[in-house]
Amino acid sequence: MRNLKLFITVIASFAFFYSYSQEDAPFTKADTLRGGNNANRSWWDVLKYQLNVEPDFNSKSIIGNCKITFKIIEEGKTMQIDLQDTLIIDNISFELVTTSSKKSNIIVKYKRVDGVYLVTIPKAKKNTIATLSIHYHGKPREALRPPWDGGWVFAKDSLGNPWMSVACQGFGASCWYPCKDIQSDEPDSGAIITLITPDSLEAISNGRIIDTKVEKHKKLTTWQVLNPINNYNIVPYIGKYTNFIDTLNGEGGVLNISYWVLNYNLRKAEMQFKQVKPMLHCFEYWFGKYPFYEDSYKLVEAPYLGMEHQSAVAYGNGYMNGYRAADLSSTGWGLKWDFIIVHESGHEWFGNNITTNDIADMWVHEGFTNYSETLYTEWLFGKEAGNDYSEGIRKRIFNDKPIIGPYGVNKEGSTDIYYKGSNLIHNIRHLINNDSLFREILRGLNKTFYHQTVNSKQIEAYISNKSEIDLSLVFNQYLRSTQIPKLVFKKEINQNIIEVYWQNCIQGFNMPITIPITNRKIQITTNQKVVKLSEEEFKWFNKKNLLRDYYLKIEEQ
């Protein structure tokens, strides 16, 4: 009961924070600068971030340098650099890398305007590669309720040792390092992260460790990410860690797996993390090969619940199944596996491999990843268990506002990006009624948009094209409306006839229903339609079956 109360409190606090931030705060110029790809962002393309950061646990401050390597895709003069107002830039130097060995290093001017830094850049030709080196310091904003309320985490483990990390999805990576803080521009060549800590602590980050050295009781640990990575996924984990390793023989060859946990939790982790390999096999089956073989897979114990940090997934679920021992579906199936291991790892495909340009389209991250929970339940316990789980989570849908949020202002839509997004995918799966094709679509998404940033319309069009079903109105109904379609029908018992149509839906809504026992699709519109069914189909056509397979309401007249 204690854990359940904790879970309810966490969800309630999240709902309050989300509602306040979305509804009560009007959009400002700063929101537009943060969320839009404006003229001071669009002319340059990030190639790599190179971070060198030293946190001080006692003063809750950091000193850092961020070197941004970028390509000039159009000639520009002013560059927007995002760094939140608790941090201060000390100086910025610009270096132009020419075709010869000669380089130039120039101290450049900058000013702070509306929450961003505008940097004056020397004139350079199109397609030139350049670097911007930014020295900065300050006290990063401390997260109040990580991971939902983002920022730096200065915590202590149960033995009183320092334990630090960052959780900044939505809030922005600019809360701890200067960057182009927008999802549409990932560093093509990854990142290098050097963390400077006391030599008594371990520092973990994304990718693979490439160097460690100790100087005057300080440890410098350097990690390298070879693949593109979105800004909020680049994170430090600093604490009294120990690690153990494993490998997976997967679709991309041998995948290196490593686990970093607080040293006194080693035995618990060795038992709980046995769930990782079956889960990875499941996701490779449904989604295609793990997208970051070069950077490995890591699970890192964190001082907060969890996050999908690429190749360094944050884990804070207390070494228990469910969501802090609660079942989000209330079916019992959600207690059969560790929610944080499964959900946050699912983001490696949807969120990290495929990333949305704008967080308004975050249903692509969360809806597909939430559906990965259904697929994993099915993988372990069969299709009916997966159907039960999917139906069970529907009670968490609010239908308070559309899933897709406003574009260009760094705002998500409804929290329904999780459960309603997942059930939209479940609808489509049952509508297709061909799991081989459905699997091809999921794998095809990850292959076609491999390491790319996208918008929702691209994902919607791909699914429509590959399923050979025009789903445009279905997507509009569930993503851009709060209405729950109502299927109204009347049975003529003696003749196996139904009269059926849609209500409470957008204009022209035309989602078909597939009767799985005969694979027959019934095209349904807002106009009343008479359909003759076989006796077998007529018996199937009842509320229980429809409500399990689709997210809709039913009214029988």
pLDDT higher than 80, residue 65 = yes
The pLDDT of residue 5: 39
User: Is the per-residue pLDDT at 29 higher than 80?
Assistant: yes
CA distance 439 to 458: 18
First to last CA, the chain: 42
- Write down the pLDDT at residue 412: 94
Q: What confidence score (pLDDT) does residue 97 get?
A: 83
User: Quick check: 96 and 54 in contact, CB under 8 A?
Assistant: no
CB 328 within 8 A of CB 334: yes
DSSP state of 179: B
pLDDT in the model for residue 8: 39
Measured CA to CA, the distance from residue 12 to residue 396 in angstroms comes to 12
Q: What is the DSSP letter of 311?
A: T
Q: Give the up-direction half-sphere exposure of residue 492: CA atoms within 13 A in the CB hemisphere.
A: 11
Tokens of 353: 């491999």
Instruction: Give the C-alpha separation, 63 to 264, whole Å.
Output: 30
Residue 283 CA to residue 346 CA, distance in Å, equals 7
Helix ranges, 154-298 (H): 266-272, 276-287
Closest C-alpha among 166, 182, 130, 159 to residue 55:
166
Question: What pLDDT is recorded for position 20?
Answer: 35
Nearest partner of 343 among 364, 313, 304, 302, judged by Cα = 313
pTM across the whole model: 0.94
The angle that helices 419-432 and 383-392 make with each other, rounded to 10 degrees, is 140
pLDDT tens across 393-433, in order? 999 999 999 999 999 999 999 999 999 999 999 999 999 99
The pairing of beta strand 553-556 with beta strand 486-492:
parallel
Q: Given pLDDT bands bounded at 50, 70 and 90, which one contains residue 176? A: very high
Bridge partners, residue 517, by sequence: none
What the block records as the tokens of 31 is: 């929101």
Question: How far is Cα 511 from Cα 49, in angstroms, rounded to an integer?
Answer: 45
Percent above pLDDT 70 for the chain? 94
> Distance between CA 555 and CA 62 in Å, rounded?
60
pLDDT in tens, 446-495: 999 999 999 999 999 999 999 999 999 999 999 999 999 999 988 886 78
Q: 247 has which bridge partners?
A: 256
Write out pLDDT tens, residues 81-101. 999 999 999 999 999 986 555
Q: What is the pLDDT of residue 273?
A: 98
Token code pair at residue 15:
């709902």
For the cut 80, the answer to whether the pLDDT of residue 192 exceeds it is: yes
Residues written for the chain: 557
* CATH 2.60.40.1730 intervals, the chain: 39-150+167-231
Supply φ then ψ for residue 549, to 5 degrees.
Answer: -85, -25
Is the pLDDT at 13 greater than 60? The verdict is: no
pLDDT surpasses 90 at 7: no
Strand order in the sheet with 297-301: 241-250, 253-262, 297-301, 313-315, 306-307
Q: Rounded distance, CA 458 to CA 338, Å?
A: 32
365-382 residue pLDDT tens: 999 999 999 999 999 999
**pLDDT score recorded for residue 341:** 98
474 burial (CB, 10 Å; 0-12 / 13-18 / 19+) is buried
User: Is the model's pLDDT at 526 over the cut of 70?
Assistant: yes
- SS3 at position 266: helix
The span from the CA of 262 to the CA of 60, in Å, is 21
Sorting pLDDT into bands at 50, 70 and 90, what band is 288?
A: very high
Q: Quick one: pLDDT at residue 15?
A: 38
> Cα-atom radius of gyration of the chain, to the nearest Å?
25
Is residue 542 over pLDDT 80? Answer: no
For residue range 481-511, what is the model confidence (pLDDT) as tens digits?
999 999 998 888 678 899 999 999 999 999 9
Q: Give, as one character, the DSSP assignment of residue 21.
A: I
| pLDDT of 16 above 60 | no
Positive or negative torsion for Cα 388, 327, 487, 456: negative
pLDDT surpasses 90 at 271: yes
In CATH, 39-150+167-231 is 2.60.40.1730 = yes
Tokens (6 digits) for 134: 């930014």
pLDDT band at 540 (very low <50, low <70, confident <90, very high): confident
**Could you tell me where the DSSP H helices lie in 505-542?**
535-540
Token pair for residue 28? 């400002």
Q: Which of 500, 502, 444 is nearest to 478 (CA)?
A: 502
pLDDT of residue 545: 77
- Checking if the pLDDT of 116 tops 90, the result is yes
**C-alpha span between 176 and 168 (Å, rounded):** 9
SS3 (DSSP) at 449: coil
Mean pLDDT of the chain: 93
Q: Is the pLDDT of residue 263 over 90?
A: yes
pLDDT of residue 350: 98
Amino acid identity of residue 280, one-letter, is L
Residue 361 Cα to chain centre, angstroms: 11
Two tokens, residue 177: 């390092």
Residue 332 DSSP SS3: coil
Pairing type for strands 313-315 and 297-301 reads parallel
Please, which residues bridge with residue 293 across strands?
Answer: none
Distance CA 505, CA 135 (A): 54
For the chain, give percent helix, strand, coil, nearest 5.
Answer: 30, 30, 35
Q: Which pLDDT belongs to residue 389?
A: 98
Give the per-residue SS3 of 59-100: CCEEEEEEEEEEEECCCCCEEEEECCCCEEEEEEEEEEECCC
Q: Average pLDDT for residues 181-210, to the nearest whole number?
A: 98
Is the pLDDT assigned to residue 60 strictly greater than 90? yes
**Rounded Cα gap, residues 114 and 92, in angstroms:** 19
Could you tell me which residues are beta bridge partners of residue 354?
350, 452
In which band, very low, low, confident or very high, does the pLDDT at 102 lie, cut at 50, 70 and 90?
A: low
Q: How confident is the model at residue 104 (pLDDT cuts 50, 70, 90)?
A: confident
d(C-alpha 72, C-alpha 75), whole Å: 7
Residues 197, 208: Cα–Cα separation, whole Å: 18
| Tokens representing residue 427 in the block | 């609808």
Q: What is the model's pLDDT at position 2?
A: 38
